[in-house]
Amino acid sequence: MNASVTARGASCPYCTHWSIRVHSRYQRCLSDAAIGGADTLICLRVRKFYCGSPDCARTTFAEQVPGLTTAHARRTPLLRGMLERIALSLGGRPGERLTHRLAVAVSRMTLLRLIRALPIPEPGTVTALGVDDFAFRRGRDYGSVLVDMHTHRTVDLLPDRLNDTFAEWLRVHPGATVICRDRASGYAEGARRGAPDAIQVADRFHLLYNLTDAVDRVVRAHRKCLHDRPASEAVAQPAPAPAVVDGWRAELTRQRWAEVHALWDKGIGHTAICRALNLDDKTVRRYARATSADELLTQALRRGSALDAHTAYLAERWQQGCTNAATLTGDCASAATGAANASSVDCCRPGGTAPHHRPRHR
Ligand SMILES: [Zn+2]
């Protein structure tokens, strides 16, 4: 449809000076919401005016029609608002499909551009603030996500997980009275400096996660005890006192634990720590997971070997001449289930009858 502006003049958008001196005319096309299921294009004839104010930096300006045009826009505010709501509700591809059905077809990239162009809403005052880290690139780059714990909405994203950045954000956005965080020292220090009056609490997720992790480590460390003793006896036994481990290996473990945690508390990622300390990724994760170096040393003491229960039997069989590892493994498994097989014992004795069990001499 064709349209033109009937007003006699227009106000300069820069200095609000009213002008009726027409510089030129041109036509601009605006897409609007569909009418009767058909797409709508408004061909609007508009004018350029001279700005008569001597203080204005602009010589000419184009007139705008309130509610219909904005500077450089090719869609009406009504259609733009509709597309923004579709983009926010459905995202790119599903939104694109819906716009085709509504006769306001745009591409998925247009919808994504509309979302990116939206102003970021101000978080307002957040009284209960949650903070945690997230990975831009797992193992390398981490940021921080801030959440309003009352509405469970994301408030802001920080480019890293350093306590300085978090403290600065809290200073710029005062009002937090409760800060929910993980149990790492980085956010604790940032919260203490940025919001010294706020109460710091460990959030439920991290408490349960840490509890699960701790229980898992304890059960793994005592797995042998659980297998060897009846359940009633195992429960009745008092926990053994942790042994003191000395030696250069123990010293190295303590030193490495301190180095890993010093870097970890600074917010440095796993991979960077691996490179800095020249350690394997699994080793760094094990050190980072341990709450103290003694925990690692105790685990090493209790770990033992799967062969411990069969040492005497294996020594006896070795003396008898059976040195075949596969046969000995089968014998140990049979002994463990109480179903030792006499034929398998005979076959590997010196002069045994099974030709495929050839003794291996070392
Ligand atoms: Zn002006």
pLDDT of residue 360: 38
Q: How far is the CA of 103 from the centre of ligand 1 (A)?
A: 39
pLDDT of residue 362: 38
pLDDT of residue 240: 53
Q: Which of 25-39, 203-217, 222-236 has the lowest mean pLDDT?
A: 222-236
pTM of the model: 0.46
Q: How far is the CA of 61 from the centre of ligand 1 (A)?
A: 8
Alpha carbon distance 151, 130 (integer Å): 11
Percent of the chain having pLDDT more than 70? 83
Checking if the pLDDT of 358 tops 50, the result is: no
List pLDDT tens digits, range 41-57. 999 999 999 998 998 99
Q: How far is the CA of 64 from the centre of ligand 1 (A)?
A: 14
Alpha carbon distance 82, 76 (integer Å): 10
Q: How far is the CA of 58 from the centre of ligand 1 (A)?
A: 6
Q: How far is the CA of 13 from the centre of ligand 1 (A)?
A: 7
Q: Mean pLDDT, the chain, as a whole number?
A: 83
Q: List the one residue out of 357, 278, 289, 296 whose CA is nearest residue 321.
A: 357
Q: How far is the CA of 9 from the centre of ligand 1 (A)?
A: 13
Q: What is the mean pLDDT of residues 282-308?
A: 76
Alpha carbon distance 170, 155 (integer Å): 12
Q: Which residue has the higher pLDDT, 224 or 237?
A: 224
Checking if the pLDDT of 246 tops 60, the result is: yes
Q: What is the mean pLDDT of residues 303-325?
A: 77
List pLDDT tens digits, range 169-195. 999 999 999 999 987 778 999 999 999
Q: How far is the CA of 119 from the centre of ligand 1 (A)?
A: 27
Per the structure block, which two tokens stand in for 131? 């903070």
Q: How far is the CA of 51 from the centre of ligand 1 (A)?
A: 5
Checking if the pLDDT of 216 tops 60, the result is: yes
Q: How far is the CA of 79 from the centre of ligand 1 (A)?
A: 29
pLDDT of residue 221: 80
Q: How far is the CA of 75 from the centre of ligand 1 (A)?
A: 25
Alpha carbon distance 129, 167 (integer Å): 13
